[in-house]
A and B are shown apart, each in its own frame.
Chain A
């Protein structure tokens, strides 16, 4: 391997845009008692940060857009204002 060229090649990683959870001004909180498991939140989340099996939310990357809360047919997700960081 004598090739010393540097290629402009990126590799896939979580957090390519940084720890985007710090962008949040409101945090989705899910009440699993109300959840019917329809998976619409999982499908609509732009970050793909809601677990398909357990609906756990990855707060390290959730940007707090609120789409999951707005689309949940069971109103099982509420957006709670983030305290000052």
Chain B
């Protein structure tokens, strides 16, 4: 499936003048997702920046039906909605194409607070897409660290840098053996849209995680949201892959990095531009820490390349 930007529809999920920060990655990602899924969709959201972006009642920046649900119930709510629709179609009370049901949740909502419900829905193979837009912190409440915050990154609750590694949630979802799991990046929009379109046409549980560099929390200029997304992929800090029923395929350029056909971009180019790593710049352990981060990147690349062999 090749995607041409010119052929994408004009239709927008996010209307101009939302309450999101200027340059918000969630808004960019959701606009792209809308162009892949189309109008016939219902979105569920857990508390997050994406909810705060809606604007005050009675206005909404989103053009499709949206349900705000609590953190713990993302898995159960989307599953219930999908099952209710199935029942209505079965009874003939609804006809035509079933709307795509999807969750739009942050990393806090996915990795940490909502995880048990999402895991249960994945195990039951309920029919919806769970999107995680991963801005690597609890942004809406003031940038507290989450299970997705990378090691060494400073947040308001890890002012000296996080001391432990992030979880690998896409991998955990993969090992639920669901029909489709993918990672995506704002800087590779045609890859992202292709993956969302693919997920739309598969019945059962789908998980797509979109890396979402947040300039407010990571402390870089708002104009660099997409640039930071690109550097994350080019340095190997964010890996692009997809898996149908557990069979992993690495996507370009991650596949080229793993095969050592291209060299990763220098890590300092990525983290050096983010204020959340500023404490490393004049740390006596700077070289040691950079080497450890690069080693971790190589480990993850090797791990996913080997997982793709299975």
Contact = CB atoms under 8 A, between A and B. Distances in A.
Interface in A32-77: 38-40, 42-49, 52, 58, 60-67, 69-71
A17 to B, nearest CB: 3
A13 B10 contact: no
Contacts of B57: 8, 10
Interface string B1-28: 0000110101010111111111111011
A44 B22 contact: no
Contacts of B18: 16-17, 20, 46-47
A13 B60 contact: yes
A79 B61 CA distance: 25
Contacts of A58: 16
Interface residues of B, number: 41
B16 A64 contact: no
A1 interface: no
Given A43-B8, A44-B226, A47-B27, A10 B58 contact: yes
Given A49-B16, A58-B16, A60-B17, A66 B60 contact: no
Contacts of B8: 43
A52 B17 contact: no
B61 A12 contact: yes
A11 B59 contact: yes
A52 to B, nearest CB: 6
Interface in B8-53: 8, 10, 12, 14-25, 27-28, 31-32, 53
Contacts of B16: 14-15, 20, 47-49, 58, 60-62
A10 B54 contact: yes
Nearest to B13: A48
A48 B31 contact: yes
Interface stretch (B99-107, B116-124, B217-225, B292-300): B217-225
B54 A46 contact: no
B60 A12 contact: yes
A19 B18 CA distance: 9
Contact of A17 (B5, B20, B189, B221): B20
Given A10-B60, A14-B16, 6 more contacts: A15-B15, A16-B55, A40-B5, A43-B31, A44-B189, A48-B15
B222 A66 contact: yes
Output the residue of A8, A43, A52, A60 with the most chain B CB within 10 A.
A43
B61 A16 contact: yes
17 contacts: A9-B58, A10-B54, A12-B59, A15-B15, A42-B5, A44-B189, A46-B22, A46-B23, A46-B25, A47-B17, A49-B16, A60-B16, A63-B21, A65-B23, A66-B223, A67-B223, A67-B225
A40 to B, nearest CB: 7
B63 interface: yes
Contacts of A69: 223
A10 B28 contact: no
B7 to A, nearest CB: 10
A22 B253 CA distance: 39
A20 B17 contact: yes
A12 B223 contact: no
B31 A66 contact: no
A65 B225 contact: yes
Contacts of B98: none
A70 B224 contact: yes
A12 B54 CA distance: 9
